[in-house]
């Protein structure tokens, strides 16, 4: 019998601890390894990410019988997953930057506060933790193994690209109609969440837009603090 998900629970705490520990410590096993091992690592993560993207569509549409409109890879975490996979294959810095800012913000929040009806070990809970952990693992590998990092100017570049993506996503949502609501452009998400206090759509975007920029600043904050302290060492 499946148990309803509770944010404050031992099972969820252990799950988050395991995910974060693996994301942080597993890439360290590949520091200073030869190129053959690093290639295997890159390709393995890419295959796992892309495989999950396909299986996730199957899970939503065929296993849970939800509308296909909600299962297209157009969520912010989907873009982050594809971006980090693209970076691992090509080394493109802009792809890393996008996955860094929105992957840490989106996937990090998803692991801490899963959009799951049932608790561990339900399929939807495990899929949420596994899929978002893969995104963060790819980012962690880029930072720890390949020494990538963002810079202050990247905040504005990524926010600019994100802004340019809003109109086409709004059009896609408009033509798909409900329940499609990618990036919550047409309406706020249901239930109690951080967007609950915001005004109703479309005025919620007047607040959500600057909040998104603040999120990017928050994600970059550890690097900002570290860089400020560096000259004093």
Give CA–CA dist 158/172, Å, rounded: 21
Q: What average pLDDT score do residues 181-204 get?
A: 81
Give CA–CA dist 115/46, Å, rounded: 24
| Confidence label for 172 from pLDDT (cuts 50, 70 and 90) | very high
Helix locations, 63-114, DSSP H: 76-90, 93-98, 104-112
Closest C-alpha to 102, from 147, 158, 146: 158
Closest C-alpha to 59, from 108, 126, 1, 9: 126
Q: What average pLDDT score do residues 147-152 get?
A: 96
| Confidence label for 3 from pLDDT (cuts 50, 70 and 90) | confident
Indicate the Cα dihedral angle 131, 133, 137, 139, nearest 10°.
Answer: 80
What pLDDT was estimated at residue 1?
63
Question: Is pLDDT at 190 greater than 80 in this prediction?
Answer: no
Percent of the chain with pLDDT over 90: 76
Residues 163 and 157: beta-carbon distance below 8 Å: no
List, for residues 70-102, the tens digit of each pLDDT value.
Answer: 999 999 999 999 999 999 999 999 999 999 999
Closest C-alpha to 118, from 7, 10, 5: 5
* Exposure string over 118-137, b if 16+ CB within 10 A, otherwise e: bbbebebbebbbebbbbbbb
What pLDDT was estimated at residue 192?
54
What pLDDT was estimated at residue 115?
81
């Amino acid at each position: 019998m499946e148990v309803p998900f509770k944010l404050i629970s031992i099972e969820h705490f252990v799950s988050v601890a395991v995910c974060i520990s693996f994301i942080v410590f597993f890439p360290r096993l590949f520091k200073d390894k030869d190129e053959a091992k690093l290639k295997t690592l890159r390709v393995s993560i890419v295959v796992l990410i892309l495989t999950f993207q396909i299986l996730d569509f199957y899970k939503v549409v065929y296993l849970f019988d939800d509308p296909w409109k909600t299962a297209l890879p157009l969520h912010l975490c989907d873009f982050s997953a594809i971006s980090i996979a693209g970076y691992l294959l090509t080394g493109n810095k802009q792809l890393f930057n996008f996955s860094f800012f929105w992957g840490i913000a989106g996937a990090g929040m998803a692991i801490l506060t899963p959009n799951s009806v049932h608790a561990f070990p339900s399929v939807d809970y495990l899929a949420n933790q596994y899929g978002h952990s893969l995104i963060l693992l790819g980012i962690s590998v880029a930072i720890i193994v390949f020494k990538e990092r963002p810079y202050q100017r990247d905040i504005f570049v990524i926010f600019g690209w994100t802004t340019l993506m809003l109109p086409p996503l709004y059009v896609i949502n408009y033509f798909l109609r409900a329940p499609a609501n990618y990036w919550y452009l047409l309406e706020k998400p249901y239930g109690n969440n951080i967007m609950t206090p915001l005004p109703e759509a479309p005025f919620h975007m007047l607040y959500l837009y600057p909040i998104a920029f603040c999120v990017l600043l928050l994600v970059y904050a550890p690097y900002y603090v570290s860089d400020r302290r560096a000259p004093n060492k």
